[in-house]
Structure formats: structure tokens, C-alpha cells
Amino acid sequence: MKEHKCLIRTLGDLFPHEERHSMRRMINCADADNSLSLQMFGSASYIKASMVMVVMNGECKVEVNHHLRSLTCGQALLLSLSHLFRIVECSPKFRCRTLMVSEEFMSAMDARDMIYRRIRYGVRLYNEPIVTLREEQICRIAARLDAVNEAIDDINHTYHKELVLNALNAFYLDMSNAVEQSTMPQVTDSSTRREGMVKAFVELLAENFRREHTVDFYATRLNVSAHYLTLIVKQITGQTASELIFDMLYAESRALLSTSRMSIQEITALLNFSDQSSFGKFFKRRSGLSPFDFRQR
């Protein structure tokens, strides 16, 4: 049997000849037949992106975290940063559509509610990442992917990033709806406990992230050590607990600076930073801009 080398790959690695614009190095939709699918995903790798693969025709066998699974027409595979993935084989008429959103793009563009939704279904799908879609769901999701593709290519639009984000948000709403309406298979007790812990962390995070920025707070509320909480959150979501806390804070900061009339000092207090300087340093590390410059752009 051929030995497959494990890699960590970016969208730039997967699309080395993509020259239309830099956005497609951060978010990309691709249609692939059996040959292109094996070319892109035939070697086991961790992809630095959230990925959705919808099978439009035929079938394939995939390996996810060393478990072999079959995918058939009408099913979607949803992978996080922590999934080791490869396509083992495809039928001759296999065709799929994929959406890959890089860690960089998610961090820069996520709205707080989108982060929350994505983590919730990511936890649910970590061990069993396949969802069977109804025909009308496939049609809706295919249309959403078309809209994302069109938005990515509309590079002369004044609000290009916002356009892409809105199309992406609509896609995730429909995919989240499909996940919530699907019947999920049973998992082991240990997996259920770990996923339950991460789900509880995410629920606590949504309620408390503005005031509580430390992993210790959430670990204490969940009666586990900070090390253990960080470990299982990383295993299931691909990000550490601290990274998720700061993702939520950054998304909320962007929203408040963009849409509210609150002063920067008021936002600093609302998000429980010690002073305006601390908030400014946090925000500039993420965005490259000071809160004032971000608001004025």
C-alpha cells in the first residue's frame, strides 16, 4: 500500500495556479471531477480551512482521522481544521462541489453569531462529519455556493469583503439548518462526554465572552482544568479555547465599531479591557488597524 505523507496545507497549496485575485487564497469554491478530486485530496493532510464537500454525482471513499467512510450523491462532508483527510477512491462519474474557508478569512471576517453557529455544528459533526441532504436542500446549498463564487469574483464592488461575507453567512445558515434537521448517528460515551463539554463551553462563551477572557473562568465553571479544556476544545474544533474567546471578542469589536455609536472608551468598558490602550493593542494585532482607523476607513 502506498504510504501517504501527512501535510498541513493551505488554500494556496491546493490552488497554486489561482491568479485571479488574492481573495481566492483565503476562500474558494471549486467544482471537481474524480481526477481533480484525487489530485487535490489524494494525500492525507490537515487543511488550514473549514471545508464543506457536497457530492453532486457518483460516490467516493474518504479517510477522516483514520476512519474510512463512504460518500454518495446527496451527502455533504463537513471538516474542521482538526480533521486529517484524504480521498481514497472515486467512481468514474464522481463530481463534487467544495467550499473552503481559510482560518485567516474566518478570523478576519466572522460575525459573532456565525462563529457560534459554526462551532456548534462543528462539535456535533466532529466524529461523524457526514450529513445526508434532501433534494431541496441540495438545490439551495448549490445556489448559495454559486452566490459565494460570484461574490468572490466581484472584485470591483465597493464593499467586496462585505459582499462575500453576506453570501457566506447565507450559505452557513442553510447548511446549519440541514445539520439541525438531520438525524445524527450514535457515538461512543467518551466522544459524547467530550463533545458535551465543548458544547457547554461554547454556550458559556456566548453568554460571558464580553466580561470573561480567561480559560480558567470557563474551566472552573465546567469543573475541569484549564489544560483539559484547552486540549479537548483543540481536538474537536481545531482551535484552542483562548483562540475561540479572542475570535468572539474580535468579531464583537468589529461589529460595535462598524455599526454602533458607542465611543471607543465605551466599547473598551463593555468588553472588559483594563483600559483603551489594551483594547487598541488587542484590536490592532488582529486587524492591523487601530480601532479609530478601523472606524474611519
CA distance 159 to 1: 50
Among the four given CATH numbers 3.40.50.10790, 3.30.300.130, 1.10.10.10, 1.10.10.60, the one describing domain 189-296: 1.10.10.60
Which residues 6+ apart lie within 8 Å of 180 measured at CB? 121
Cell of 292: 479609530
HSE at residue 227, side-chain half, CA atoms within 13 A, is: 0
pLDDT digits 0-9 by tens, 150-209: 999 999 999 998 899 889 889 988 988 888 887 655 444 455 677 778 878 888 888 899
Task: Let me know: does 245 contact 205? Beta carbons within 8 Å.
Answer: yes
Residue 276: which H helix or E strand, with range? helix 276-287
Task: Let me know: does 194 contact 232? Beta carbons within 8 Å.
Answer: yes
Closest CA to 138 of 61, 75, 197, 90: 75
Q: How far is CA 110 from each of CA 97, 103, 115, 148, rounded to the nearest angstrom?
A: 22, 10, 6, 15
Give pLDDT, residue 140.
95
Q: Report the relative pairing of strands 27-33 and 95-102 from DSSP bridges.
A: antiparallel
Amino acid at position 184, single letter: M
Task: Let me know: does 291 contact 268? Beta carbons within 8 Å.
Answer: no
Amino acid at position 235, single letter: Q
Q: Of the given ranges (135-149, 184-198, 217-231, 276-290), which has the lowest mean pLDDT?
A: 184-198
Q: Report the CATH number of the 7-181 domain.
A: 2.60.120.280
Residue 219: which H helix or E strand, with range? helix 215-221
Closest CA to 11 of 35, 42, 45, 34: 45
User: Where along the chain do its domains lie?
Assistant: 7-181, 189-296
pLDDT digits 0-9 by tens, 2-56: 334 457 788 888 887 765 567 888 899 989 999 999 999 998 888 888 899 999 9
Q: Which residues pair with 74 in a beta bridge?
A: none
Within this chain, domains 7-181 and 189-296 share the same CATH topology: no
pTM for the predicted model, two decimal places: 0.68
pLDDT digits 0-9 by tens, 52-93: 999 999 999 999 877 899 999 999 999 877 678 999 999 999
DSSP-derived 3-state class of residue 211: coil
Read off the pLDDT band of 233 (50, 70, 90): confident
